[in-house]
Amino acid sequence: MSELSDVKAEEQAADIVPEGPAKVPDKEAEPVKPPKVRRLNIIGRRNLFFALSLIIIVPGIISMATHGFRLGIDFAGGTELTVTFANHPTLPQVEAAVDSENANGSVIQTTGGGYILRYPPLTAAQTTNVQNDLQGKLGPMTVAQILEVGGTIAGETIEFSLLAVAIAATGLLILLSIWFHNVPGGWRAGFQFGGSAVAALLHDVFVLTGIFSILGKVFGLRIGEIDAFFVTAVLTVVGFSVHDTVVVFDRIRENLRVSQRLSFEQVVNLSIMQTAARSIITSFTVVLVLAAILIAGGPSLQGLALALMIGIVSGTYSSIFNAAPLLVVWRKLQPVR
């Protein structure tokens, strides 16, 4: 195949991996340049984008600090029964029945016509009593689900979750510093890449947790409740955010090698433009999948799907508009070489 040998000739010129700038070949031999990319100046308008992020994050942080979260059973502890009644009693009827038990129960109506009944932790015998009592008052009842979470497990779930985020962030910082220490500038530059990616990651975590705090506490929506699934979502977003950022950073690294004439800012801007299509398309397809779960996946997965959606949109935004501009700012404050 003559075309293949053709590649080899080109690749030899274009694909050298230099440790230092001196070995970079004559750029005129590189046919990739100049790529036709629309020149949106993202780096120049970075303060605008930082401000946009803050507009979302700051209210979220305020809500988290003053209101906290609407806690699901996993975190709050207690006994939760998901039931349906054959006689279809109204919400006030169910509430009256639960109130009269004096067991501090509360009632939430689900979209499917069922009810979620929440109590402080009950013993097995008490749970049976409650069920018998409700059957007596409201007629035949089908129990779809019973969850009992004691204080110990609830505490552990929170502990494990915080620990997981902390370890993931630290680990990713180290991992990225190692991966990117071969850019011009060595370990300091590697740390800047890693640090910027982790900052973008924390941005996404705060956007997600902030929005859920507002949804759950300020608007009082049940979808804003946080449970073990929410923790899953946060940690997935951690992974996805870095995933997105790494693609941009990887392009920056590549362009730093081949585009010696451009300033760092220009290289970063070029790299953002080159990867933006991919970032948006990928996030778009993932959001499509999540929308499918949100619509078809049933109530137990909806909170998870919404959380992932927010996190992934935020992750894409932050990889384009925060992580790379942050890298530029960091370089200005702490020049390499």
Partner 1 sequence: MHIVLSGPIRLIIAAVLVFSLFIDGAGYVYRIANHLPLTGDVAGLPPNFGGWQLYFHKGLDLAGGTHIDYQLTNFPAGQSRADVQQRTIAVINKRVNALGVNEPEIRGAGTDYNRITVDLAGVTAAQAQKTIGAVSKLVYTKWVPDAKVTGGPEPGYKPQLTGLTGDDINSASATIDTTGVSWVVNIGFTSRGATLFDNLTRDNVAACPGDVNTSATANCPQRHLTIWLDLTQQDIDNWEDPSYAGKVTAPYDPGCLATQAAGTVCGKFLTDPITIQEIPGGNATISGSFTQQSANDLATGINSGSLPVDLVALDVTQVSATLGAEAVKLSLAAGLLGLSIVVLFMILYYRIPGLLASLALLFYAGVVLALFKFIPVTLTLAGITGFILSVGMAVDANVLIFERFKEEIRAGRTIAAAVDAAVRRAWPAIWNSNGSTLWTCAILGFVGPSAVKGFALTLAIGVLVSLVSAIVVTHNLLAIVLISSRFRRASLLGVDRVRTV
Q: Is 23 helix (H, G, I), strand (E, B) or coil?
A: helix
In the bound complex, what is the minimum distance in angstroms from residue 55's beta carbon to partner 1?
28
CB of 246 to partner 1, least distance (A): 5
Nearest approach, Cβ of residue 66 and partner 1 (Å): 27
- Taken in order 303, 80, 68, 164, the sign of the CA dihedral is negative
Q: Which is nearer to partner 1, 87 or 152 (CB)?
A: 152
Residue with Cβ nearer partner 1 (44 or 136):
136
Q: Is 182 in the site for partner 1 (CB under 8 A)?
A: no
- List the interface residues with partner 1, window 219-258 (CB under 8 A): 228-229, 231-232, 235-236, 238-240, 242-244, 246-247, 250-251, 254
For partner 1, the binding residue among 99, 281, 332, 334 (CB under 8 A) is: 281
User: 103: which DSSP letter?
Assistant: S
Least Å distance, CB 329 to partner 1, is 23
Contact status: 46 vs partner 1 (CB under 8 A): no
Close Cβ partners of 146 (under 8 Å, ≥ 6 residues apart): 79, 80, 81, 82, 127
Q: How far is the CB of 59 from partner 1 (least distance, A)?
A: 27
Which residues are CB-neighbours of 75 under 8 A, at least 6 positions away? 69, 154, 157, 158, 226, 227
Q: Least distance from C-beta 51 to partner 1, angstroms? A: 28
According to CB under 8 A, which one of 61, 107, 164, 336 is a site residue for partner 1?
164
Q: Please name which of 319, 228, 243 lies closest in space to residue 276, comparing C-alpha atoms.
A: 319
Minimum distance from CB of 213 to partner 1 (Å)? 20
Q: Does 106 bind partner 1 (CB under 8 A)?
A: no
Work out the angle at residue 322's Cα, subtended by the Cα atoms of residues 316 and 328, and round it to the nearest 5 degrees.
135
28 HSE (CA, 13 A, CB side) = 0
Instruction: Return the C-alpha torsion angle 320, 65, 210, 325, nearest 10.
Output: 0
User: Contact at 8 Å (CB) between 83 and 134?
Assistant: yes
Binding test (CB under 8 A) with partner 1, winner from 44, 68, 136, 298: 298
User: Binding of partner 1 at residue 261 (CB under 8 A)?
Assistant: no
Candidates 213, 230, 248, 234; CA nearest to 168 is 234
238 or 324, CB closer to partner 1?
238
Stretch that binds partner 1, among 44-52, 94-102, 146-154, 211-219 (CB under 8 A): 146-154
